[in-house]
Structure 1
Amino acid sequence: MYKYGFQNYFEANFTALYPEVVKSGHWINVYLTFEFSKDTMLPADLTDPSALVVFDLEGEVQDFIVHDEGVDSEYKFTDTEKKKLLDFITQQNLI
């Protein structure tokens, strides 16, 4: 993850992912909470990160959003993290 302006960059290693799928209008929202490996060091300004992955009804990804304490944060996922999240969603047949 990294903060806007490419600050506080780190690569999160997820050890467990917990999904919740919510269909709303034209969107399918997949909320993911996760646990991190011991070697993942969160920056001080990111206390309880989670993810929102937004899909359209055809199953195409529209956005990856980093939440902190349940609301949008200034952080973004790296391409590697996005791939890990999408691989999990696909393997679990959530969409």
Structure 2
Amino acid sequence: MIQYGSTDVHELLFASMRASIELRDRQWIDVEIQFELDWENGAALPDDVTELSALLICTYNGEIAQIVPQDEGRDCEFQFTESEKAQLRHYYEQSVKNQLLHKVEHA
């Protein structure tokens, strides 16, 4: 994680993830990903964050438009590193995208 305006980087490793999918409107689909951190490898939340999750804003064809960190369900002053985004993208592609596309088909 990188706090806006800071050069300090705290790399997080995610141990397990779960997602919820919500059709926001006719253009965007919100995928909220909750996760557990890999505490054994030294992962720790920044001091200013209490309940970190990720919001993936996706299109109706399943593409990720944006990945936003959230604290307690709201935007926060941090951003994910490229490695953290890669972990989230991988989980989405492997475990969520097909569910999202199925939900779109039946909407």
What amino acid is the match of 1:81? E
Residues 1-80 of structure 1 mapped to structure 2, 5 A cutoff: 1-25=1-25, 26-38=27-39, 39-80=42-83
Relative to structure 1, the CA distance from residue 2 to residue 59 in structure 2 (aligned partners, 3 Å threshold; closer, same or farther) is same
CA distance in 2, matches of 1:91, 1:8: 30
CA distance in 2, matches of 1:76, 1:84: 14
Question: How many residues are paired up?
Answer: 95
Q: Secondary structure at the match of 1:35?
A: strand
TM-score by length of 1: 0.91
CA distance in 1, matches of 2:8, 2:71: 15
Structure 1, residues 32-88: CA drift from partner, whole Å, max 9, x if none? 111001111222101110010001112222111110011110110111111110110
CA distance in 1, matches of 2:78, 2:28: 22
Which has the larger helix fraction? 2
Q: Which runs of 5+ in 2 are unaligned?
A: 101-107
CA distance in 1, matches of 2:7, 2:50: 16
Residues 8 and 43 in structure 1, CA contact (< 8 A), matched pair in contact too: no
TM-score by length of 2: 0.82
Deviating above 4 A after TM superposition, structure 1's stretches of 4 or more consecutive aligned residues are none
Equivalent pairs: percent with the same residue?
Answer: 33
Which has the larger strand fraction? 1
Q: Which moved more, 1:55-64 or 1:69-78?
A: 55-64
What amino acid is the match of 2:28? W
- Structure of greater Rg: 2
